[in-house]
Amino acid sequence: MTVLGRGIGFIRGMAFCRLMDDTDVGRWSMAFGFITLITPVMLLGIPGVLPKFTEYFRLRGQLPSFVRRIAIGTLACTGVFVAAMFFTPSWFGYFIFLKAESASLIYSVATAMVGMIIYNFVSDLNASLRQVRLVSLMQFIHGVGFTVLSLVWLVSGGDFQGLVWMFTAASLIATLPGFASLITNWVAVTTSHKIENQSAELTRSADTQNTNSNNESPCEKDSHDSDVADETGPLDLAGMIRRLAPYALALWMVNLIGNMFELSDRYMILHFLPVPSDLTNGLSLASIASLRETMGQAAVGQYHSGRIIPMVLLSVATMIAGVLVPYLSADWEAKKFAAVRTRVGDTLLAVSLIFTLGSAFAILIGPYVFGTLLQGRYTDGLRLMPMALCFYTWAALVSIGQCYLLTAEKGRSIAIAMFGGLVANIVLNGILLPQFGLTGAVIATLCSHCIVMLGIWSAMVIYGCPITKTWIGLSILPASLLVSPWMAMIAVCVGVVLIWRDDAQRERIVEALPAKVRAFI
């Protein structure tokens, strides 16, 4: 379902570029980027604690209280931010689109954010309970639903704003299976919570009797009972905040800086793309500003076309990371630290090989996709796509590496790496964008993604996850896309051979295969 859903998303992206002009494609890119990237920032990282801490509180019989309080915090943050958008639509219109759009468009964006928050909360909660199939179903319904609704809307003559409403409807429809699963299983979760509390009470009672028989001092007995109560008793709000606040703050910083980093190149293009002097001769300042706005949105549309295939890869990596964190957290809570490092290493290896091979194939079919499916209207997107595939594969590796640091509760190191990439992206865009236009912006983004990846690898080494020669190779592998797709394919084949010759890695690969495939091998 994941592969098929991402394939449908690719078709949707192609259709958007074909059915809309590049200016409207640029506006959609900015609106979609704002909806998906600003949401975790304005929620202060509160729902982001679910994948990491659901297992922690489940083991202590405190899951219902934990989820209820996270939901209340999420609702409060959503209400404040959406109210701000409704009261100041003109400011948000300029911030997102570089001009004061109609208030109705900003209201539709705010509504889409609410739908996205509901969908993400339900999806994250089910993923944290390791309901992988259900989460895949939700993602599939969301992708297919949005594709069908949006294409019907555009084919019937609908405008750009209607796409935002179609996105909202798809988010709410995709939430239904997750809600149904939670409602069905919530009674079981609550019952388990009560049983675990009763079991803890029986354990404390037995420990008290043993303590009395062994003439344990009252001070030692009280201390022992207090420790058990802290682990299995009612969830104290202050204690919960103390436990979650450092992680939530670090995650909020990661989301804020990371999303600023993700959006910075498009905003730099939109606001600072140079306008050729021969086009401005004799124009008033207002006409020059209007021309800059149109050219900037068109350039963002060209950039968006070159990112359609790379974004499919990154969305798959994001899904993998979302599924991976709950399993890493379960291993971490069980003190299986070696298993955590092995899971992360194997996942990085698979992502680098598969994504590089897929990117090479995408470059080979690029002329057909852009020349035939997109009618030759996005030549800049085709030219810049190899660089986009390279840095988005690096971004995919970073999203997997972040899982280790988040599991180890070292999110601040991720924020530092992202901040370094953000500063580099802004500085390099400021230097290269005026000289080389859109190409300079993509080169700047490529270099800044490399800086972020190096920062994440350094943090992983510092916090107990050593980098091997294999990791160095898989980090360099996506750069072969800049040479040629055939070079990338050869490099992937060499990497596969080297991995297969390693006995430990080959054994883990074979164990991960279905039983029928293992029997055949």
Q: Residue 269 has what pLDDT?
A: 79
Q: Residue 433 has what pLDDT?
A: 85
Residue 226 has pLDDT above 50, yes or no: no
Q: What percent of the chain has pLDDT over 90?
A: 19
pLDDT, one tens digit per residue, over 360-376 is 999 998 888 888 777 77
Q: Residue 518 has what pLDDT?
A: 62
Residue 89 has pLDDT above 80, yes or no: yes
What is the helix, strand, coil percentage profile of the chain, to 5? Answer: 90, 0, 10
Burial call 152-188: b when 16+ CB within 10 Å, e when fewer: ebbeeebebbbbbbbbbebbbbbbebbeebbeeeeee
Q: How far apart are the C-alpha atoms of 473 and 492, rounded to whole Å?
A: 10
Q: Residue 211 has what pLDDT?
A: 43
DSSP classification of residue 47: G
Q: Residue 227 has what pLDDT?
A: 39
In degrees, to the nearest 5, what angle opens at C-alpha 447 toward C-alphas 366 and 39? 80
Residue 457 has pLDDT above 80, yes or no: yes
Q: Who wins on pLDDT, 233 or 453?
A: 453
3-state secondary structure of 503: helix
User: Across residues 429-447, what is the average pLDDT?
Assistant: 87
Residue 192 has pLDDT above 90, yes or no: no
Q: Residue 396 has what pLDDT?
A: 92
Within a 10 A sphere around the Cβ of 467, how many other Cβ atoms?
14
Taking each helix axis from N to C terminus, what angle separates 2-19 and 132-155, rounded to the nearest 10 degrees? 20
Residue 210 has pLDDT above 90, yes or no: no
Q: What percent of the chain has pLDDT over 70?
A: 83
User: Across residues 40-65, what is the average pLDDT?
Assistant: 79
User: Across residues 180-203, what is the average pLDDT?
Assistant: 61
